Amino acid sequence: MVRIINYKSREREDGTTFFLLELQGGVEMVLSKETGQYYATAKKAFITSTFDEVTCQALIGSEMAGNVVKQEVEPYAYVVKETGEELILTHRWVYIPEDTTATKEDKAVNQLMANTSVFSKNGVPDLEEAFV
C-alpha cells in the first residue's frame, strides 16, 4: 500500500497548470553502510493527475494498492538540496499499481506452470497427490 502524502503544482509548456500527487510507501528499516545502525525510511514517488487543487488536497491521507519500486533509467545529475552535492543517479522511484507488480513474463510463466504431481512417474500415475 502507498499513501498520498502531498501534492505539487507544475506548469506545462503552454502555461496551464497540473498537479502531481506525492506517494509514500510503508516504513522500511535500512542498515547504514557508514554507522552500521538501522534507520527508518520510506520510498517516495510522484504521479501526474488530472485533479484540481481542491481534489488533490482532499486526497492527502488516502491509501492506494501498489508499491513504490526502483526503476533503472539513463544516468542523470541530481543535486542534494541540503549539501549542494551533485550525484549521478541511474534509477528513479516509480509507483506500480498492485495488479501490475508482476511482469507480463512472470504472469505468463505462472499461468503455464503445471501441477507436475498429476503426471505419471515411470508410467505409474500418482493419483493420491493429484487430488490433494
**For 68-115, what is each residue's pLDDT tens digit?**
999 999 999 999 889 999 999 999 999 999 876 455 555 554 444 444
Q: Are 95 and 71 a contacting pair, CB within 8 Å?
A: no
Q: What pLDDT shows up at residue 122?
A: 53
Task: Tell me the C-alpha distance between 9 and 18, whole Å.
Answer: 6
Task: Tell me the C-alpha distance between 15 and 63, whole Å.
Answer: 31
**For 49-64, what is each residue's pLDDT tens digit?**
999 999 999 999 999 9
Q: Does 3 score more than 70 pLDDT?
A: yes
Task: Give the pairing type, strands 2-11 and 63-64.
Answer: antiparallel
The total of other beta-carbon atoms located within 10 Å of residue 56's CB is 19
Q: Are 50 and 59 a contacting pair, CB within 8 Å?
A: no
132 or 32, which is more confident?
A: 32
Q: Are 5 and 68 a contacting pair, CB within 8 Å?
A: no
Q: What pLDDT shows up at residue 116?
A: 46
Q: What pLDDT shows up at residue 67?
A: 94
Q: What pLDDT shows up at residue 115?
A: 45
Q: What pLDDT shows up at residue 99?
A: 75
**For 7-54, what is each residue's pLDDT tens digit?**
999 999 999 999 999 999 999 999 999 899 999 999 999 999 999 999
Domain range annotation of the chain:
2-130
Beta bridge partners of 47: 21
Q: Is this model's pTM higher than 0.85 or not?
A: no
- Arithmetic mean of pLDDT, 106-125: 48
